[in-house]
Amino acid sequence: MIVSGSASQALAAALADELEVPLAEVAYDRFPDGELLAAAPGVAEANPDRAVVVGSTVSSDAHLELLQLQDAVREAGTDEVVTVLPYMGYARQDEAFEPGHPVSARAVARAVSSGTDRVLTVNPHEEAVCEFFEPTATAVDAAGRLAEPLPADLTDPVFLSPDAGAVDLAETVRDAYGEGEGEVDYFEKTRHSGTDVEITPSDVDVAGRDVVVTDDIIATGSTMSEAVGVLGERDVGRVFVTCVHPLLARDAYAKLSRAGVEAIYGTDTIERGSSAVSVAPVLADRL
Ligand code: R5P
């Protein structure tokens, strides 16, 4: 039985379809003092052997809601609790960046671990974050899904990442798109602050060619818009932007549109207008 967090309802439904198991009735409420109450009456009624709680932790409330749903299904007597974190919030805070800072990814992983037998997550920024869970979480790679919404007629395509860390994702998208057809390259990125990013381009020739830029996440859109801006100065063809996690915070969508992107394609790990493809089939394979 699939149990959905409020931020992951479309993905949870797709997963239930894919696995041909029921989607539990859930209720999301809030007390007058602001405290949350997420409940799973459908699990108490059906009493399944296994419950799969699906919740992207896109906010502090979503974190708390996930812990409540895990506890609710355990309280209902479910033998096995599996937690799917399609998008793991705080995953990028994976070390103490200054003295006195927390390792926030570890703190949330410990909390999530306490309510589950197993954790699956999708393309965390660094796979090492899985080791913060007890037992170690499994990371699923959904980047190949990003090739699906791309047009079939890309002109002499270049598959690019905005920094060296995401070049594997660009390669995965290239392989899924055209079985090794298409050049893969990457730019270099220097981050000066949360929103100030400097991109140093490679010398890849993009004139008249379509470019697909892939990253694990678009948060403020600073990284992608800088990369797209550089391409625009080079007589590029069409530019498509793809990412696993379309967080698209603040004015990210407008920023990318102004930079001249043709389309933004993400998955449903975070449910947005740009969630063009589902990670459900990839997750279902591991469930
Ligand atoms: C960091 O290296 C990540 O891969 C992304 O490039 C980054 O988190 C994107 O953030 P933003 O959209 O705020 O530039």
Q: Among 3-12, 46-55, 155-164, 176-185, which is the least confidently predicted range?
A: 176-185
Among the options 189, 209, 245, 272, which is catalytic? Answer: 189
Nearest in space to 149 (alpha carbons), one of 227, 263, 12, 247: 263
CATH number of 2-140: 3.40.50.2020
Cα–Cα distance, 133 to 90 (Å, whole number): 13
Nearest in space to 72 (alpha carbons), one of 120, 25, 138, 21: 25
Does residue 137's CB lie within 6 angstroms of at least one atom of ligand 1? no
Cα–Cα distance, 215 to 224 (Å, whole number): 8
Mutate to test the pocket of ligand 1, among 195, 199, 218, 224 (most ligand atoms within 8 A of CB): 218
Does residue 93's CB lie within 6 angstroms of at least one atom of ligand 1? no
Does residue 124's CB lie within 6 angstroms of at least one atom of ligand 1? no
Query: What's the whole-number average pLDDT of the chain?
Result: 96
231-267 burial by CB neighbour count: b if 16+ within 10 A, else e? beeeebbbbbbbbbbbbbeeebbebbbebebebbbbb
Q: Is 216 helix (H, G, I), strand (E, B) or coil?
A: strand
Fold for the domain defined by 143-268? Rossmann fold (3.40.50)
Res 179: pLDDT: 73
Compute the distance from residue 190 Cα to the ligand 1 centre, in Å. Answer: 11
Per DSSP, helices labelled H in 179-234 are 222-232
- Could you check whether 2-140 and 143-268 share the same CATH topology? yes
Q: Among 7-16, 22-31, 50-59, 171-180, which is the least confidently predicted range?
A: 171-180
Compute the distance from residue 163 Cα to the ligand 1 centre, in Å. Answer: 9
Cα–Cα distance, 94 to 115 (Å, whole number): 21
Nearest residue (by CA) to ligand 1, atom 13, is: 220
Phi, psi of 182, deg, nearest 5: 120, 140
Show me where the domains of the chain are located: 2-140, 143-268
Kindly state the tokens that stand for 56.
């992207």
| Percent over 90 (pLDDT), the chain | 95
Would the pLDDT of 195 be above 90?
no
Q: Please say whether the beta carbons of 266 and 272 come within 8 A.
A: yes
Q: Please say whether the beta carbons of 268 and 10 come within 8 A.
A: yes
Give strand ranges (E) for the chain: 2-4, 27-30, 36-39, 50-54, 80-85, 118-122, 138-140, 158-161, 183-186, 188-191, 197-200, 211-218, 239-246, 263-267, 275-277
The residue-averaged pLDDT of 219-227 equals 95
Cα–Cα distance, 169 to 147 (Å, whole number): 11
Cα–Cα distance, 96 to 68 (Å, whole number): 28
Kindly state the tokens that stand for 212.
């697909």
- Is 255 noted as a catalytic residue in this protein? no
Q: Please say whether the beta carbons of 56 and 269 come within 8 A.
A: yes
Does residue 94's CB lie within 6 angstroms of at least one atom of ligand 1? no
User: What is the per-residue pLDDT across 53-108, written as a single tens digit (0 to 9) for each?
Assistant: 999 999 999 999 999 999 999 999 999 999 999 999 999 999 999 999 999 999 99
Place 193 in a pLDDT band, splitting at 50, 70 and 90. confident
Report strand pairing: 118-122 vs 80-85. parallel
Does residue 57's CB lie within 6 angstroms of at least one atom of ligand 1? no
Compute the distance from residue 214 Cα to the ligand 1 centre, in Å. Answer: 11
Residue 74 marked ligand-binding: no
DSSP string, 148-182: TTS-TT-SS-EEEESSGGGHHHHHHHHHHHHTT-S
User: What is the per-residue pLDDT across 133-164, written as a single tens digit (0 to 9) for each?
Assistant: 999 999 999 999 999 999 999 999 999 999 99
Res 178: pLDDT: 87
Compute the distance from residue 162 Cα to the ligand 1 centre, in Å. Answer: 9
